[in-house]
């Protein structure tokens, strides 16, 4: 059997029970057909039997009241999600995006989300995806190039994936919407709020256009640096290729870009004809990424080349 979303969220509410411990428990249950978890007592007894495993070494000594409290919190999360029209799927559901099952982090270790919260059309994740990412403070040239390329990729059927941040993320989403294409925004907070607030209208337009808002964080989760970095691995995972519009050498964009490279996926950076633009502090990261294995996109670049690459990746 597979644990339900309620059971998984319940485990995640227990102190010192993170995603790794939850996956261990959930996989053990999934791989043993003779196990049937119907009640909290069943779950508690199983956890106690597994406690000798080193993965659960930080797991607390639980009592039934602890599990009951965790389940009550999980039920509240689900109730609040339903009130906000947020849907929930877990790793073991057939609707779970296949690409995210193979998520790795910046260190190259497997790190898929076990729970996903979403608004909109989850089925668009089956499209070939391109992550369009970059600085929150791009140059004028970056804004123009980012929206133009995003619209062209969207016209070819790509799902434009980004993070709803101001700057490069925004023009990525807008480029897709402009041509009535599909776009996915992966957020680093709960979907009961939109961050940044000034992109609330853009989030609404994404949904109205048949797009998707996606997060691994439950309602009520605020934005923080850790969640932003964690979100970047999902952008790289969901996409077949990643396009960097502009980034500084130490920009947050580097997390998703480095994850793309370590995943052995194609990474592209826009090349700017104007030397002043290329030497801008917010653009110097493009050259650094090319030195690590990325490729430049120049004016003579053929978008169909990426379509061929995505088809090969999808079939492998």
* 133 inside domain: yes
What is the reported pLDDT for 82? 98
Phi, psi (5° rounding) for residue 48? -65, -35
Residues 169 and 257 in one domain: yes
Q: Which residues are bridge partners to 162 per DSSP? A: 185
What is the reported pLDDT for 119? 98
- Yes or no: say if 286 and 269 are a contact pair by the CB < 8 Å rule: yes
CA distance 4 to 92: 8
What is this structure's pTM?
0.94
Domain extent for 234: 115-315
Residues 157 and 250 in one domain: yes
pLDDT, tens digit (0-9, with 9 covering 90-100), for 165-191:
999 999 999 999 999 999 999 999 999
* 175 inside domain: yes
* 29 inside domain: yes
CA distance 49 to 33: 17
Residues 297 and 154 in one domain: yes
* 71 inside domain: yes
- Yes or no: say if 7 and 40 are a contact pair by the CB < 8 Å rule: no
Q: From the CA atom positions of the chain, what is the Rg in Å? A: 21
What is the reported pLDDT for 175? 98
pLDDT, tens digit (0-9, with 9 covering 90-100), for 49-77:
887 777 776 677 889 999 999 999 999 99
* 252 inside domain: yes
Q: Which residues are bridge partners to 116 per DSSP? A: 89
Residue 312 has pLDDT above 70, yes or no: no
* 108 inside domain: no
pLDDT tier at 278, thresholds 50, 70, 90 = very high
Residues 167 and 52 in one domain: no
Residues 64 and 146 in one domain: no
Residues 222 and 79 in one domain: no
pLDDT, tens digit (0-9, with 9 covering 90-100), for 197-206:
999 999 999 9
pLDDT tier at 85, thresholds 50, 70, 90 = very high
Residues 146 and 229 in one domain: yes
Residues 120 and 78 in one domain: no
Neighbours of 166 (CB within 10 A): 15
| Selected residue with higher pLDDT from 51 and 115 | 115
The label of the residue with tokens 């776009």 reads 183
Neighbours of 176 (CB within 10 A): 29
CA distance 199 to 165: 8
* 106 inside domain: no
What is the reported pLDDT for 311? 62
pLDDT, tens digit (0-9, with 9 covering 90-100), for 279-289:
999 999 999 99
Residue 87 has pLDDT above 60, yes or no: yes
Residue 310 has pLDDT above 60, yes or no: no
Residues 305 and 191 in one domain: yes
Q: Residue range 43-54: average pLDDT? A: 84
* 107 inside domain: no
| DSSP structural state of residue 35 | -
pLDDT tier at 315, thresholds 50, 70, 90 = low
Residue 266 has pLDDT above 70, yes or no: yes
Give the whole-number percent of the chain exceeding pLDDT 90: 86
Residues 54 and 160 in one domain: no
Number of domain units in the chain:
2
The CATH number for 156's domain is: 3.40.50.450
Residues 171 and 283 in one domain: yes
Q: Residue range 109-113: average pLDDT? A: 97
pLDDT tier at 235, thresholds 50, 70, 90 = very high
pLDDT tier at 307, thresholds 50, 70, 90 = low
| DSSP structural state of residue 80 | H
Residues 207 and 58 in one domain: no
């Amino acid at each position: 059997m597979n644990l339900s979303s309620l059971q998984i969220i319940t485990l995640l509410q227990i102190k010192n029970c993170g995603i790794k411990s939850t996956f261990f428990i959930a996989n053990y249950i999934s791989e043993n057909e003779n196990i049937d978890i119907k009640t909290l007592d069943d779950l508690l007894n199983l956890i106690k039997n597994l406690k000798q495993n080193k993965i659960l070494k930080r797991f607390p000594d639980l009592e039934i009241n602890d599990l009951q409290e965790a389940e009550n919190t999980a039920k509240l999360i689900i109730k609040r999600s339903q009130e906000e029209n947020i849907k929930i799927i877990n790793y073991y559901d057939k609707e779970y995006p296949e690409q995210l099952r193979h998520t790795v982090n910046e260190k190259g270790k497997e790190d898929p989300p076990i729970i996903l919260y979403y608004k909109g059309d989850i089925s668009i994740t089956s499209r070939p995806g391109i992550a369009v990412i970059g600085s929150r403070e791009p140059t004028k040239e970056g804004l123009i190039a980012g929206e133009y390329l995003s619209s062209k990729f969207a016209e070819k059927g790509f799902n434009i994936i980004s993070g709803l941040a101001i700057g490069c993320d925004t023009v990525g989403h807008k480029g897709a919407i402009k041509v009535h294409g599909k776009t996915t925004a992966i957020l680093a907070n709960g979907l009961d709020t939109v961050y940044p607030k000034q992109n609330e209208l853009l989030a609404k337009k994404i949904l109205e256009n048949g797009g998707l808002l996606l997060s691994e964080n439950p309602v009520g989760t605020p934005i923080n640096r850790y969640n932003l970095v964690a979100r970047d691995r999902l952008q790289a995972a969901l996409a077949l290729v990643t396009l960097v519009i502009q980034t500084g050498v130490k920009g947050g964009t580097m997390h998703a870009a480095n994850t793309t490279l370590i995943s052995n996926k194609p990474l592209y950076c826009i090349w700017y004809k104007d030397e002043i633009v290329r030497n801008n502090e917010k653009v110097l990261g493009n050259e650094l990424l090319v030195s690590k294995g990325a490729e430049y996109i120049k004016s003579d670049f053929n978008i169909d080349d990426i379509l061929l690459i995505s088809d090969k990746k999808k079939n492998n």
